[in-house]
Amino acid sequence: MTAKIIDGKAAAAEVRARVAGIAAEFARTTGRQPGLATVLVGEDPASAVYVRSKGKATSEAGMASFSHKLPDTTSETELLHLVDQLNRDDNVDGILVQLPLPPQIDASRVIAAIDPAKDVDGFHPMNAGRLATGLEALVPCTPYGCLYLLKQELGSIAGKEAVVIGRSNIVGKPMALLLIGESATVTVAHSRTRDLPDVVRRADIVVAAVGRPEMVKSDWIKPGATVIDVGINRVPTEDSKSRLVGDVDFAGASERAGAITPVPGGVGPMTIAMLLRNTVVAAHRRAGLSDPK
Ligand code: NDP
């Protein structure tokens, strides 16, 4: 069997086009564009690229983009001061503080300082708790994007065996909660899991969020399973360049899976799309409007 390749770029383009329509309608109704503020501390090149593409996508969707760049010597107090300003700014619906932060800043304190209503990354303990208890929340963008792809591919997920590899607060844990919310039977695997291949073999749905290049082997995949590869790993190539690979052995797994996301072009583009989606949702809730479709 050769798996269907799940096109994350196309799905993300659809979401972004829908968000642009919602943003335009919001602007007509309220007289202002939904706004996303990004905060970048320091010079990390990968973070700078992420923040730039988030800002560009925000403007392309017809939303206001506010970009804040601070030096890597910024103190926690200074960053908390900026977060406080953004919390109070009525034109800002979403606040994204790009992680990682320099070592002098405690990221968990910064995340906790963001107004939960503007926490479009969904990392604030209030949103994490709301998601865990099944209340309306802002959901972390990457697992939200994975769920979108899964629902698009499978329709109903109810009753399916899902294995999430990874238990981070950013991907693995919220992914597991979203799948429970869809009535899947969910197993969360991590570095202490025994017999990981056997655990993965029973999965109808595999979400790999580990950060280890091509760790998930083809013979772990149940024939016909849907495989979502969150991993983004840069590995050296023979010509002393590098390429991106996921956490799944894509070539092998595509021979057994029913459907699989590529890296790049799978989950990655969905993350930004869901960030834009969260921003228009936050804007609607803050304006007392019902959630957009
Ligand atoms: P973390 O490092 O925070 O978490 C990795 C998880 O994998 C941990 O729970 C860890 O277990 C588990 N793990 C590590 N080694 C093994 C192993 N040998 N067997 C089983 N489980 C293992 O990473 P993130 O969740 O932040 O990210 C995961 C991957 O997803 C990375 O490649 C990252 O680049 C990518 N990513 C991609 C995004 C996108 O937009 N596509 C967005 C965010 C992340 P333990 O808890 O026991 O240590």
pLDDT tens digits for 40-93? 999 999 999 999 999 999 999 999 999 999 999 999 999 999 999 999 999 999
- Best residue among 139, 191, 248, 272 to mutate for probing ligand 1's pocket (most ligand atoms within 8 Å of CB) is 191
Regarding whether 50 and 108 lie in a shared domain, the answer is yes
Total of domains in the chain: 2
Confidence at 185, pLDDT banded by 50, 70, 90: very high
User: 145: annotated binding-site residue?
Assistant: no
pLDDT on residue 48: 96
Residue 168 Cα to ligand 1 midpoint, Å, equals 6
pLDDT on residue 70: 98
Regarding whether 178 and 100 lie in a shared domain, the answer is no
pLDDT on residue 146: 99
Confidence at 272, pLDDT banded by 50, 70, 90: very high
Residue 162 Cα to ligand 1 midpoint, Å, equals 17
List the residue whose alpha carbon is closest to atom 47 of ligand 1. Answer: 191
Q: Say if 78 falls within a structural domain.
A: yes
What is the three-state SS of 210-269? Answer: CCCCCCECHHHCCCCCEEEECCCEEEECCCCCEEEECCECHHHHCCCCCEECCCCCCHHH
Q: Which domain holds residue 244?
A: 141-267
Confidence at 212, pLDDT banded by 50, 70, 90: very high
pLDDT on residue 106: 98
- HSE at residue 47, side-chain half, CA atoms within 13 A, is 18
Residues with Cβ within 8 Å of 169's Cβ and at least 6 positions away in sequence, in order, are 123, 128
Work out the average pLDDT over 149-172.
98
User: 32: annotated binding-site residue?
Assistant: no
Percent of the chain surpassing pLDDT 70: 100
pLDDT at 246 over 80: yes
Q: Is the ipTM of this complex over 0.90?
A: yes
Residue 10 Cα to ligand 1 midpoint, Å, equals 25
187 lines ligand 1 (CB under 6 A): no
> Which CATH number is 196's domain given?
3.40.50.720
Regarding whether 149 and 105 lie in a shared domain, the answer is no
Boundary-marking domain end, from 84, 117, 150: 117
Confidence at 100, pLDDT banded by 50, 70, 90: very high
Regarding whether 152 and 45 lie in a shared domain, the answer is no
Residue 30 Cα to ligand 1 midpoint, Å, equals 40
Regarding whether 147 and 259 lie in a shared domain, the answer is yes
User: 31: annotated binding-site residue?
Assistant: no
Distance from C-alpha of 96 to C-alpha of 51, rounded to nearest angstrom: 9
User: 166: annotated binding-site residue?
Assistant: yes
Regarding whether 97 and 204 lie in a shared domain, the answer is no
191 lines ligand 1 (CB under 6 A): yes
pLDDT at 1 over 80: no
Work out the average pLDDT over 90-100.
98
pLDDT at 164 over 90: yes
211 lines ligand 1 (CB under 6 A): yes
Confidence at 254, pLDDT banded by 50, 70, 90: very high
Q: Say if 128 falls within a structural domain.
A: no
